[in-house]
Structure 1
Amino acid sequence: MSEKKINWKRVFILAGALCAYLIGSATATGQESMQFFTAHGYIGIASIIVTLLVFGWAASSLIVIGNETKNLEGNVYQYFLGKFFGKVFEWFVTLFLFALTVTLISGSGTIFADFYGVNKLVGAGVMVVLIYITVLLSLQKLVDILSFIAPIIIIFTTIISMISIFDSIDNLFIAEQLMKEVEVVKAVDSWLLSGILYAALGITVAAPFLIKMGSTTQSRGEALLGGLLGALIYSITISIISFALLINIKDIFDKETPLVYLAEGFHPIFGWVFSFILLAGIYTTGAPMFWYVCNSFGAERTTKYRVISLILIFIAFLGGLFLPFGKLVGTIFPLTGVLGLILLIVMAYKQIRLKVKTKQLEKKAM
């Protein structure tokens, strides 16, 4: 049977949704890029290439698996890790995504308070309403919304980064020297491990959404290209951000939101506009995360799903206002990276074993 014709519009929608999901508030502020890539100097570009290769392979593989198993019962984690460990992994990811959703809601309240002078309660409430309304929609609608917002975030962060690069172009050849004059926090000491770990963290957080997203595709080729294109666009974006931070490292090394600092340096209006980008990043990451959490308890568009969604979003709202979930995330984040590495290794093993078996069967058939 021939492969279905590829719908390129759907490919770009998939790629956009993937980018929107990955480019959350941490990426948009520049903090992730600075710790994982910029901190390593020029060799950080090699780290990004490693991330592109690892994440591109893993993301496209998961989307393809989502396409091929959409009509099958059971959890895809169990496909990789077995029934027991697959179930443990599934519930850990669910807990972790809920904790991240809570911190994102808390962050949205802080942004509203800092930039607009609005009470944190109101700001967090606005984000909660947006996320709740979104998860009541179908997965297809969610993917479409994310793919629409993604270009806005990517274009604006790229523009700010490019302006800062040209504005500080004189630092191009002395960036490594400037790095020695400041102390930049590194997520990982090794540039190679940094690239692998970043991809592993991304896959751990994105895997549930990637698999579900794959179930909306019409063909294997469509799923494969959507994952690869999304990974490529995302990698190019963080490359530009990292390079901009590198040649401005002396000014931003100690800033919590380095890209926002650069934006405000050009004109205060840029900082104000960037606040919308941060909120958009929170929304595009928080909505699909919360959708997966709710979907773990019940199928979408059912009464059970709506009731559970309402209860969980209320708990997330209270948590974002009063509970120190940042410490919780900080505690389980290293474990998440380890689990991500395990998942990547098992995925590679499964794919290699499947190819070996396929070749053996082909030889026997000859």
Structure 2
Amino acid sequence: MRGKWRLTFQVGFTYIGTVIGAGFASGQEMLQFFSVYGKYSYLGIMISTFFFAWLGVRMMVIGARLGADSYQEFNRFLFGKRLGEWMNHLVTIMLFGVTVAMLAGTGALFEEQLGLSFHLGVWLSIIFAYWFNLRGLDGILSVNTFVVPFMLGFMLFVVWMGLQQGEVGPLWEKLPIRAEPHWLIATISYIAFNLVLSQSVLVPLGASIRDEVILRWGGWIGAIGLGIMMLIGNMVIQWHLEEVLLAKIPMGWVIAEIGKGIQLLFLLLVWGEILTTLIGDVYGLAASLRKWVSIRTTWLITGIFLLAYLLSFVGFSNLVRYLYPLFGYCGLGMVFLLVVRRMPSY
């Protein structure tokens, strides 16, 4: 019984780690998708949490029932053979785009917050992610089980410090500072963006575990954990919204106000969360590309990282602001079909 609960929490933490990457941990996603909408951001977070739980579980269970070792089988089930192939190509492009954003995020983290080289941050991330990718799903489960609880605990500590310093204002009275797109459209885009990318890990994870009780509980644990972290991140950013509006790493600016030691610990955790998403995305990319090209996995992963490194100079905040919403709109069809499609049988 203890082993089942351990695996359940591993599933939940892996779900959280798959969603929380450079954009989330740095505060950029909270800022762009929620915080700028003032009091409406809290409604958006509640809606997101519910759909992450419901649809994340459905995705894993479908993966288990199909025995799918990559997102390709999942998309063929949802869209049919012909449209499913087009969706697989789109997801591959999206995963690569987010891989580029993760590397750009590590570069921005090292450059803006630590005063170190952009390239140093990128290459250290590539080395660690490469090593964990060679371990497959076991590597993804182990790194998330280690990093995610620390990040959740740290965010609770940050909000506690804010409460102690009397930074809490009437958050429910905050007016939006951005009118377009509508807050609900931004929320739906955020849900679609994260779910369509999470399939690269959640689908094969479901197929690997297959125990639907574990998958359902793990999905809800992951979604509730995400909701708590979204709520905390949004609150903290809204306390300092004017100051962090143009920052590449908004949460880093906030943490710097608490103290240097705390800031360094936070930046280490942000880097860890970036790695969890980077590892998952590259794992999904490699699993998909292996079906199209017949080269060794090590060379395939190396090629993905090298090309992503060359494109990471576009800039992290630009990628989050423009690329992520575009990917979210592209994923709306998958979310709709995930809602209406009848579950497959074993």
Task: State the TM-score, normalizing by the size of structure 1.
Answer: 0.83
Cα pair 1:162 1:244 within 8 Å, conserved: no
Q: Residue by residue, what CA displacement relative to the aligned partner does 1:185-223 show, whole Å, maximum 9, x if unpaired?
A: 467323x33333221111011122110111221411111
Q: Does 1:168 align with 2:166?
A: yes
Confirm or deny: 8 A CA contact 1:209 1:288 kept in the other structure: yes
Paired residue for 2:41, among 22, 44, 47?
A: 44
For residues 159 and 103 of structure 1, the distance between their equivalents in structure 2, rounded to whole angstroms, comes to 27
Q: State the superposition RMSD in angstroms.
A: 2.9
> What does 1:80-119 correspond to in 2, within 5 Å?
80-119=78-117
Identity level (%): 20
Task: State whether structure 2 residue 158 is matched by structure 1 residue 188.
Answer: no
Give the AA of the match of 1:279: W
Work out whether 1:197 is the aligned partner of 2:178. Answer: no
Partner AA of 1:18 in structure 2: Y
How far off its partner does 1:42 sit? 2.9
Match of 1:362 in 2: none
Deviations 1:2-42 (A, max 9, x none): xx998111110000111112121221222222332333333
CA contact (8 A) 1:36 1:187 kept: no
What pairs up with 1:250-329 in 2 under 5 angstroms?
Answer: 250-298=242-290, 304-320=296-312, 322=313
1:244–1:111 distance in 2 versus 1, CA, 3 Å:
closer
Partners of 2:54 and 2:32 lie apart in 1 by 23
In structure 2, give the amino acid aligned to 1:257. Answer: I
8 Å CA contact 1:209–1:289 kept in 2: the answer is: yes
Distance 1:243 1:11 in 2: 29
* Cα drift, residue 283 of structure 1: 0.5
Specify the SS of the correspondent of 2:209: coil
- Alignment of 1:156 onto 2:171: no
> Is residue 144 of structure 1 aligned with residue 150 of structure 2?
no
CA shift, 1:251, in A, is: 4.1
Q: Is the 8 A contact 1:113 1:119 kept in 2?
A: yes
Q: Is the 8 A contact 1:184 1:254 kept in 2?
A: no
Equivalence for 2:207: 215
1:172 match: secondary structure: coil
Q: Taking structure 1 as reference, are residues 21 and 62 closer, same or farther at Cα in structure 2, changes over 3 Å only?
A: same
The structure with more radius of gyration: 1
SS in 2 for 1:266: coil
Are positions 1:8 and 2:22 aligned together? no
The verdict on how the C-alpha distance between 1:176 and 1:255 changes in structure 2, with shifts beyond 3 A counting, is farther
Other structure's SS at 2:67 match: coil
Q: Determine helix, strand or coil for the equivalent of 2:296.
A: helix
* Residue aligning to 2:336: 345
- Unaligned ranges ≥5, structure 1: 359-366
Contact in 1 for aligned 2:28/2:317 (Cα 8 Å): no
Q: Structure 1 counterpart of 2:52, which letter?
A: F
Q: Is the CA contact (8 Å cut-off) linking 2:109 and 2:249 kept in structure 1?
A: no
Aligned to 2:65: 68
Aligned partners of 2:248 and 2:317 also within 8 Å:
no
Once structures 1 and 2 are overlaid, which stretch shifts more, 94-103 or 244-253? Answer: 244-253
- Asked whether the 8 Å contact 1:162–1:240 carries over to 2, the reply is no
User: Separation in 2 of the partners of 1:338 and 1:242?
Assistant: 22
Contact 1:16–1:151 at 8 Å: present in 2 too? yes
- Contact conserved, 1:109 with 1:123, CA < 8 A, in 2? yes
Distance in 1 (alpha carbons) for counterparts of 2:340 and 2:210: 27
The one-letter code matched in structure 2 to 1:189 is H
C-alpha contact (below 8 Å) 2:25/2:273 kept by paired residues: yes
Length-normalised TM-score, structure 2? 0.88
CA distance in 2, matches of 1:290, 1:12: 23
**2:18 paired residue among 12, 21, 30:** 21
Q: Judging changes above 3 Å, is the alpha-carbon distance between structure 1 residues 194 and 109 closer, same or farther for their aligned structure 2 residues?
A: closer
Structure 2 segments unaligned to the other structure (5+ residues): none
